[in-house]
Amino acid sequence: MVGGLLTHDTNGPEQAHELYQKLKLLMSINYEEDCVQTLKALCLMSCWSVKPSSPVNLDGPWIWTGLAIQLVTQMGLHREGTYATRANSGCLRRVFWYLLVACWGRPPRLRQKDLDVRPPTLEDFEVPNMQSLVFIETTKLCTVMTRIAKLYMERHHIQQSELSSIDAALCDWVNSLPEDLRLYNANDQRKAYYRPASELFIQYFVVIVMSQMLRYKERDRPWRVSVVSRIAASCASFLYDEILCREETVFLLPNHGFFCLAISLPLICHYPQLEPESTVRKRDIAIVCSVLNKMRDRYGDADMVLEKMRRLRETVERSSRVNGGPDAIPSDIQGSDVRAKELFPFPLDMCREMNLLESVNAPDPQHSQNTGSLPLDEHTDNPFFGLSFMDFFEPDPNMFDFTIDSEPNAYSTQEVFS
């Protein structure tokens, strides 16, 4: 609802921008003496991202969340002991976790080892409701994402046990979700549409995609678009389509730019052989593009993300034609985790790609081919060799002007996590 205040309730982007400019002015002259109110104002400002991040400037969500975290640290709110002496501890705990959750797609400003604040509970809300539950479950997903980021940044080979631990955490999350937030009831019937719950599951599917990227962290390992990633991306696209149909993209915060980019990678990089699968792929990509186009007036990096998607899509399709195969980056079916079906406790008609669950750990190659893709030879020239999935989160789209003759390891990487 904070995002709605800056985009919807102010009767348009012009009024929202005017409010944003007033907040910046008051912040610059240190008008507010109450540091708690300043923290709240900084949280509000982080919901407005009208300027692109390139060229670099002192304006935008990451700047405001960075200032807020500096203030949080000064106030000692990164330590659990501080809350015992605060009368408004519930509010401050919510602010603290909001700032951690708001860092999707940007390097975090606080390291996990530097904080010991317990996650929020219903007791931290003056009036517990559905949105309270959404916030609580979002922080849990953020914790899993932090584990993924930590594994990605560590300079060692990721063990299968570590990957399985992430999968187990995601399975536990989706299976222990409060009944009020589930998308389907016990009879697999869709519950009434509730946008915050849909956004929560979009984040869940994004975390699944990011966890799958860990399996191809090493640059010398050929890329594979896992079946799990394809299903998660398609499910997220389905939920975005529902939001689009109700014209509620106005409520989406800037972190959905990161979400759209994340789910676009498996959607684009899988280039299916069969026409029905190709139609589904085109539809899902079009939905993501529509969301980004709708966010343009308040998300300055929308054009950058769209440009990355366009270049990647052109490269994948060009590579497919040159290499003579249907998949520029083949699907990894045999390597899918056995817990894949636990990650998606949804009816098969939720989205078209859900039927791919039947191909997970398929016993024979013939079964794998039923998914509509054929594997490329390991030695086939691949324009993406030498890149990891995380390279696509670079802030500069010009770094990804790929050609078929690209040299491996020709691109530098500014890691999205640090």
pLDDT (tens digit, 9 = 90+) per residue, 192-222?
999 999 999 999 999 999 999 888 776 555 5
Instruction: Catalogue the long-range contacts made by 142-148 (C-beta closer than 8 Å, 24 or more residues apart).
Output: 142/97, 142/100, 142/101, 143/119, 144/169, 144/170, 144/173, 144/207, 144/211, 145/104, 145/207, 145/210, 146/108, 146/112, 148/207, 148/210, 148/211, 148/214
The mean pLDDT of 100-126, rounded to a whole number, is 83
What's the mean per-residue pLDDT of the chain?
80
Residue 80 identity (one-letter amino acid): E
Which pLDDT value is given to residue 107? 66
Which pLDDT value is given to residue 393? 60
Which pLDDT value is given to residue 136? 97
**Percent of the residues in the chain that have a pLDDT greater than 90, as a whole number:** 46
Q: 0.95 cut: is pTM over it?
A: no
- Residue that has been written with the tokens 């669950």 in this structure: 357
Distance, first Cα to last Cα, the chain: 30
pLDDT (tens digit, 9 = 90+) per residue, 297-309?
888 899 999 999 9
pLDDT (tens digit, 9 = 90+) per residue, 12-55?
667 877 888 898 898 888 888 899 999 999 998 988 888 887 77
Judge whether residue 123 has pLDDT over 90.
yes
The structure tokens listed for 119 are 């996650």
pLDDT (tens digit, 9 = 90+) per residue, 367-417?
444 443 433 333 334 444 444 555 556 555 444 443 333 332 222 223 333
pLDDT (tens digit, 9 = 90+) per residue, 333-350?
444 455 788 999 999 999
